[in-house]
Amino acid sequence: MTHVRTKICGLCSADDARAAVVAGADALGLVFAHNSRRRLDTTRAVPIADAIGPFVSRVGLFMNDDATMIDDVVASVTLDMLQFHGDETPTFCRSFGKPYMKAVAMGGGDASVFRAADDYHDAAALLLDGNRQGQPGGQGETFDWQIDLSAVGLPIVVAGGLHPGNVGQAIAALAPYAVDVSSGVENAPGRKSADKMHAFINAVDKAGQS
């Protein structure tokens, strides 16, 4: 039996964060990227991060944001890991004193995964998303799961268009370290559904047992 971890991204309220923890999420994502519908400022993010209990990771998502802005967020909000979705260099990603995850836009194919694994060799994980380069996550787009990632050499997080009905297929195809969901457990952008979060994590657990 394999425990596939679950990250729920795009939390916009403390109530949704608490509901995600109750549902069994391993990590929660707070979006600070300027071009996201789920963007938080530090004033809104602090109570959400503080509502997340121990042993659940808090991940801050950024996309081509400047270092001063990221430093301000890191100083103000309790975050365990940073997630970069843009053109950030490896040197930039590692400059904030936090473990980081680098997103790879899979909308254009899979060759960039192996290049990213070399370039970002000290990343905690690579997150494979269905968006194209230059788009934030949370677009609800899947990518071709029929690829062999066994030689990547870093933990893989699968994102993009996942929901309770298809996450088991993604896990069966890719055997990832973790899966990441945002719009697939929402009633509206930024408004999570407790029922959908429970259903998603139940589907992840079931897939990990097969």
End-to-end alpha-carbon separation of the chain, Å?
Answer: 7
Q: What is the pLDDT of residue 137?
A: 53
d(CA 107, CA 139): 11
Query: In this structure, are strands 178-181 and 156-158 parallel, antiparallel, or unpaired?
Result: parallel
Structural domains for the chain: 5-209 (3.20.20.70)
Predicted confidence band of residue 2 (pLDDT cuts 50, 70, 90): confident
In order of 40, 79, 101, 109, 158, the CA distances from 142 in angstroms are 25, 27, 19, 12, 9
Does the pLDDT of residue 22 top 60, yes or no?
yes
Question: How much is the average pLDDT of 177-191?
Answer: 95
Question: Model's pTM, two decimal places?
Answer: 0.94
Do the strands 5-9 and 178-181 form a parallel or antiparallel pair, or are they unpaired?
Answer: parallel
Number of Cβ within a 10 Å radius of residue 176: 23
Residue 16 pLDDT: 98
Examine the pLDDT at 65 and tell me if it is beyond 80. yes
